[in-house]
Chain A
Amino acid sequence: MSIKTENNKAWFLIIPVIILMGLNAFVPLMTVINYSFQETFGDNVFFWEGLKWYDQILHSDRFHSAFLRQVMFTSIILSIEIPLGIAVALALPRKGALVSLCLVLVALPLLIPWNVVGAMWNIFALPDLGLLGKMINGMGIDYNFTRDPLAAWFTTVLMDVWHWTSLVVLLSYAGLRSIPDAYYQAAKIDGATNWAIFRYIQLPKMKSVLIIAILLRFMDSFMIYTEPFVLTGGGPGNSTTFLSIDLVKIALGQFDLGPAAAMSLIYFMFILFVCWIFYTIMMKDEGK
């Protein structure tokens, strides 16, 4: 009796996983792929369209500008949240009773549901009765995020920084905590300045957690939907219409299933591609 036949039993054990994966990943993905190559007018009647929707999306100004807004938004929040997160992590106490209190306070924004965050900031930033809105206007600056695109961007970015910097802080803090005391002692003896300690000890030791932080923040911010939807609804005009908001408009607003399917696949492939780059960088470093 060979070992191979005995092992076949194991397949039964993974059937639940296969069913689950099939229902929540494979089937929906295939449906979207199916839609992206066809045209339907309802009644389950489909016409083959080939690459028409892909061609249309890739050449549409609307997609280009939403994509550009998305890239801009993600770059802005990454360039604020990552350095800010590191700075806050460095400022947190390393030991003592304050540590847990600080960590809980820092983690608080992460526990708030996304649509609540959007609603909170919507009210907070209202120019006539929100605390933030009234304060800015009180300083003599004309601020109205429902009318002015710049104000809308400012508010959206601020909201995301408030909501997600904590994640970067927690990850960086974990990275910092893993550095043995001997490194700091050796640096002191070598006469290193605080900047040198940061540059040559803390930053290199935080590298792997920072890559994870950037990866997570990239994915989440690139797919951001709920918070700006509740805050600005993509407006004023289309100024804060990011990719996912645009996608929902096409799919559920206009009910253009074909183009929406093609767009979500392009969207998905792009995120997958960037993640693959991050993954490659990370694994390259592990191998050393």
Chain B
Amino acid sequence: MAKLSFKNVKHSYLANPQNPSDYALQDVDFTWSDGGAYALLGPSGCGKTTLLNIISGLLKPSEGQILFDSTDVTAMSPDQRHIAQVFQFPVIYDTMTVYDNLAFPLKNRGVDEASIKQRVEKIAEMLDLSGSLHNRASGLTADGKQKISLGRGLVRTDVNAILFDEPLTVIDPHLKWLLRSKLKELHQQVKRTMIYVTHDQTEALTFADKVVVMHEGQIVQVGTPTELFEKPKHTFVGHFIGSPGMNIFPCKIFGNRVMFEDYALEVHGEISEKLVVGKAEVGVRPEFITFSNKGIPVNVVKVDDIGRLRIVEVRHKGQSFKMVLKEGEAIPDKDVHISFDVNHTHVYCNGWVIN
């Protein structure tokens, strides 16, 4: 087991990358602490899988170094790195039994029969596969197969980290939930570093202690689910996490005052004109907007009832805001104004938070 560090890692799939947009991964500098449960969250094409394949050694980065503790593993092959990876689609060896599938990585490493047997049985029990150990693996359902893929990673005692590349894509919804809690439980049992790639925020937020949000080949924020929700460092995080996403709208900054149209806004922390170079925006989550007597006058455009909550869309001139109303909260008939929760109103410059 080891801590995993990325030192200025860049990767491009092109032979001669010219400008930043040619890189699938742009300058990642990050340390994954030993035994952590991480989720790597981001939209399709943001570089999640590239990052994962670089950790496992399936890809060699164009630039930079990867360290396991203090050992440079950048040039090492996947099996030398002691990494396990579970792929989007279950990979099983069709002709083997469940037992042989689980034993395969150990057999390849020349482990003796008795230890293999003991290890496989232990892991099978953890994964609830004991009953079908001697069946052909090809006869299992998708979730059973995915458990085998996972088991092949767990069975090895030398594994530094287990990587998951959207492992629940092909699993039925009701089993997804079960497998996800199984993963969480396994993490607590084995205490290995687990990195879980997904584009589904629910999956990321339920699995991980720390969520790493990626956008256009960069890590934009690392934090606990609460941090990501309450203080997004980047407008992308605000927008991508939460449903509906954060309201982001343009503002002007004069001295230490933040103005939206003709209205002064109170925001979290100190703000100063000097910090702003470029496009200034304010971000407020729909959960932190309330109706009030004064503030920004708006018209109610649309109300969506989604069960326990209502999502209300209001508009001031051309700018629309989404807000979340709890059950029973009334929508005023006339003279509608909205105000923002000071502690959750953030100012962004060129996408990055500044207050």
Contacts and interface: CB of A to CB of B under 8 A. Distances in A.
Range for the number of chain B residues in contact with chain A: 20 to 34
Contact of A182 (B83, B91, B138): B91
A201 B93 contact: yes
A189 B83 contact: yes
Interface stretch (A15-23, A126-134, A190-198): A190-198
Contact of A183 (B78, B85, B91): B91
Nearest to A205: B94
Contacts of B138: 288
Interface in A194-209: 196, 200-201, 204-205
Interface of B: 53, 56, 58, 77-79, 83-85, 87-89, 91, 93-96, 104-105, 108-109, 138-139, 149, 152-153
B278 to A, nearest CB: 41
Contacts of A25: none
B79 A189 contact: yes
A190 B102 CA distance: 10
Interface residues of A, number: 17
Nearest to B138: A288
A288 B139 CA distance: 7
Contacts of B108: 190-193, 196
Contact of B87 (A185, A204, A205): A185
Interface centre among A180, A186, A201, by most chain B C-beta atoms within 10 angstroms, is A186
B79 A191 contact: yes
A204 B95 contact: yes
A189 B84 contact: yes
A147 interface: no
Contacts of B77: 188
Contacts of A288: 138-139
A190 B56 contact: no
A185 B149 CA distance: 12
Given A191-B79, A288-B139, A185 B93 contact: no
B68 to A, nearest CB: 15
A188 B78 contact: yes
Given A190-B105, A190-B152, A191-B108, A180 B79 contact: no
A258 to B, nearest CB: 50
A191 B106 CA distance: 9
A186 B79 contact: no
Contacts of B91: 182-183, 186
Given A182-B87, A189-B78, A193-B108, 19 more contacts: A182-B88, A182-B89, A183-B91, A185-B53, A185-B87, A186-B87, A186-B152, A189-B58, A189-B105, A189-B153, A190-B79, A190-B108, A190-B152, A191-B79, A191-B109, A196-B104, A196-B108, A204-B95, A288-B138
